[in-house]
Amino acid sequence: MLKFNIQKKMDGKLGRVGTLETPHGIIETPAFVTVGTKATVKALTPEQVKDLGAQVVLANTYHLYLQPGDEILKKAGGLHKFMNWSGPTMTDSGGFQAFSLGAAFGDNVSKIASGESVVSHCGSENGGTDSSCALAKIDEDGVVFRSHIDGSEHRFTPEKSIQIQHNIGADMIFAFDECTSPQASYEYQKEAMGRTHRWAKRSLDEHKKLNTDRKISLLGIVQGGRFEDLRKESAKVISEMDFDGFGIGGSFSKEDMYTAVGWVNEILPEDKPRHLLGIGEPADLFGGIENGIDLFDCVAPTRMGRNGTLHTSGGKINILNAKFKDDFSPIEEGCGCYACQNYTKAYIAHLFRAKEMQAGTLASIHNLYFIINLVKKIRQSILNENFEEFKAEFLERYYGNSL
């Protein structure tokens, strides 16, 4: 079970510094959670992930269910042994991918925007039609979806999601929720939120049946879109259930870090951890933390890195720009990551142009190090009581006048 201790609170804000004790180690919060979708952080070994400062890794229930299968992970002794990661782990519920990949594969949409109970896409990636039809069908019991790998049909229910996650065996898992589009109407957001609440209760009941050794902790998810009354209602309903912590779902803009997140965290119990799903932009990390978020996860640092976009204290750079061809300085002067300590921009630019695999490795190491250590610095600024000064200085340097 989780043990969450708050060490220091921010004056006049919801932000806090704490420690989160799991069966596989203590997480110093706030913390950035590294995403290892398929039981691997793309292009990196577990040793590299640990060396760059990562405390916790999140794997993806949907992807591991489809490949290699959750029963394989159970036979292997669980996620930690399977991927050789000894630290804390998390899994999401699989809901987002069941809706987005199952419903919209090839459409380049991230969430279901329709208020209909059936959302389908028939066609190929280039906009033509073919014989395959990706389909997600939502009903009160769960969702039927087609695999993005082979088109086979599958069904997730709250109980099934919890069973899969227990087989995977992470320290922290999430209740099954309905993921809606941020553009969905108020009426549909309300309908989906109600379904999410009922699924939360079913997830919790199934978890309690399976969690006989009490080693796995379950987090409930708050939904409600960008509507204040729905977010507050969802926070109240979910907080009254016996969850070990809470996740806040949905797509957010920068303004929402200071509104929707605040609405929710003013209601959620103070003595349990709060996780914001899918957030990794530097400005959003500051907004989330000062409004009471303890954990974040996002694929952005590694995805950006593999495509040649790198974080620096002066903002993002594209390593493929011509000016870096003969730039023999590190990505960031003074950066302690392995890439900056050993390689130059010119070399990394060469790797990308040559399409060498090591390009993605070095870029991912740097970006993860940058974001993980930014959150650690924010944590320290709260302890030092100079959060506002650190925030203003960082944002001015990183974004200039673009915010």
Could you tell me which residues are annotated as the binding site for substrate? 92-96, 177, 223, 250
Give the Å distances, CA to CA, from 98 to 56, 105, 156, 361: 24, 10, 8, 29
The active-site residue out of 92, 244, 256, 294 is 92
Tell which phi-psi region holds residue 325, choosing left (phi > 0), alpha (psi between -120 and 50) or beta.
alpha
Residue 92 falls in the annotated catalytic set:
yes
User: How far is 403 from 194, CA to CA, in rounded Å?
Assistant: 35
On whether the CB atoms of residues 274 and 265 are closer than 8 A, the answer is yes
Amino acid letter for position 311? H
Long-range contacts of 117-121 (CB under 8 A, 24+ apart): none
Q: Strands, E, within 147-229: which ranges?
A: 153-156, 172-174, 217-222
Give the annotated binding-site residues: 92-96, 177, 223, 250, 335, 337, 340, 366
Could you give the strand order of the β-sheet that contains 3-9, starting from the edge strand earlier in sequence?
3-9, 16-22, 25-29
Using DSSP, state whether 27 is helix, strand or coil: strand
Amino acid at 183: Q
| 51 noted as active-site residue | no
Active-site positions? 92, 297
